[in-house]
Copies of this chain bind each other. A is one copy, B any other.
């Protein structure tokens, strides 16, 4: 087979070269060259994100101009990498915008984190429930007698003798882990035979997990504050593995304080933005291991190292880890095949899983760390939701509440202390900015709120990080809700999301391209951070309407199944990456959320991470998450009669039955 050389010139400077056989797609060539081209659609040509430019050298076979590559751009050499096949040696330019959401690590500034209040609220709830303090972990300071020819007992036996004396445990009930044993001889002699021992007690049994030189002073630790926490002696981790983003919190198991917080893009994104494309990839030879490594070795492990550095501890001080993730992410994290999740009858390998060890997962944490995995309840309702049910506390409330998790997909839980029902809907990634041409997550530069002047059509934008000088980069979920709500309110788009009002101004906001598709310019090239225009197209609006329709129809269907009227919902908890800027009023206006008094709505951020935090802190909380998970009824929407009709009815602004959304306020 003929082989060609493809050179990728990545905007910003890096160059990567790969040898590949003819007929390989440019997307595949990029993956082989380790160039992380964005391909949320999995490479089937529908998302248009993998736009690259052919600089020189030859020919590719492709399908000509399209809605993603307009004729002018096509003439300049722009192509969709997934739709182009290599037929010669090539020089390719990869614009920064074509790169997948990177696995770049971000460490949160704990003093300004927006989740701080949510976290404080959860800690208050845990304190009220009297959870915590039951981990059985402690640090014991042991001063040993030095050996001599008259007492040549081995180091391990000498340590056990002393720990037995200090703790009252029987010597036969005390074990010393291999990790600790390997440190023991040198540490004993360096520290003059006085050590701090990290001990885990289970009933009568006592395991010495780790050893450190004794603390220099015997005084108790300095008082703690949120922003200036001393390094934890016993650390834990809460890990939320999102389809798009992984978030990890380092916590102090003795105090329950947050010690550090960080996030990174899920490296699996190069295999597709949604779980379906990744499941398909996982079933290819070596695919499961590629997916596991993309999220563990490339993402979770470096992130753990970074947050430990930030907190000033070694990762081997982490003794307890709780992981919450959707069903597919949980499978891939553990290296368990998940291909049957997407094949009828949609059966995962597991819902619950026994506590694992740091050793078996190898994330750099202490090998004896307990690793807990939040249980799933359905193929598409996973541990992120059971963890979220816990942290939202809806399972303890007498009246019914609704939990809506707007992640890369949408999941709903309805109920309270009497019953709980959950379902997933194919909302897609629009609320996180996926499937939207100028979409992005709610990070710096995101337009998170918009109002539009009905006369001039000019928008007023609220931009994340504007106070630090950030200009607009794209639209996040809350910004999309606002903008679409405003365009509809101003009569610029109709109930089907199509542009109906032309714009005669000197710098017109509504434009149409050669294929007839309209777009609204939220920011002109000169106003944006990237220098490119930020616009919302009819395709974007269409994608968004289907996403919001999926959410609303799921809510209606679920309420119908349990025979509750909408008004019976006492509280609605909105969780997920949509951002704290979400304007519930606009979300109601566009027919995404039910028409309830605004005070019943609460944004609760990353409820999955918060649930994992509770599991890491408290054995009783972990038990409750498992018990609650077992009690949740799973509603399979896709096969539910009537859901499809509800969905179709909801794919309008606000709905075919617009009376549902007459706002009282």
Contact = CB atoms under 8 A, between A and B. Distances in A.
Given A178-B334, A360-B178, A185 B349 contact: yes
A284 to B, nearest CB: 14
Contacts of A340: 155, 185, 189
A89 B390 CA distance: 72
Given A360-B367, A367-B360, A348 B147 contact: no
A176 interface: yes
A181 B147 CA distance: 47
B347 A147 contact: yes
Contact of A339 (B185, B346, B379): B185
Interface string A163-176: 00000000000011
Nearest to A159: B350
Contacts of A149: 344-346, 636, 639
A41 B337 CA distance: 53
A371 to B, nearest CB: 10
A567 interface: no
Contact of A152 (B156, B345, B367): B345
A335 B179 CA distance: 10
A396 interface: no
A182 interface: yes
A603 interface: no
B359 A182 contact: no
A339 B175 CA distance: 23
Contacts of A178: 334-336, 356, 360
Q: Which of A344, A345, A346, A379 has the most CB of B within 10 A?
A: A345
Contact of A347 (B153, B344, B636): B153
B350 A182 contact: no
Contacts of A15: none
A34 interface: no
B156 A351 contact: yes
A287 to B, nearest CB: 13
A148 interface: yes
A390 B572 CA distance: 69
Contacts of A152: 345-347, 378-379, 636
A360 B178 CA distance: 8
B175 A336 contact: no
A353 interface: yes
Contacts of A337: 182, 185-186
A330 to B, nearest CB: 11
Contacts of A185: 336-340, 349
B154 A347 contact: yes
Interface of A: 147-149, 151-157, 175-176, 178, 181-182, 184-186, 189, 334-340, 344-354, 356-357, 359-360, 367, 376, 378-379, 636, 639
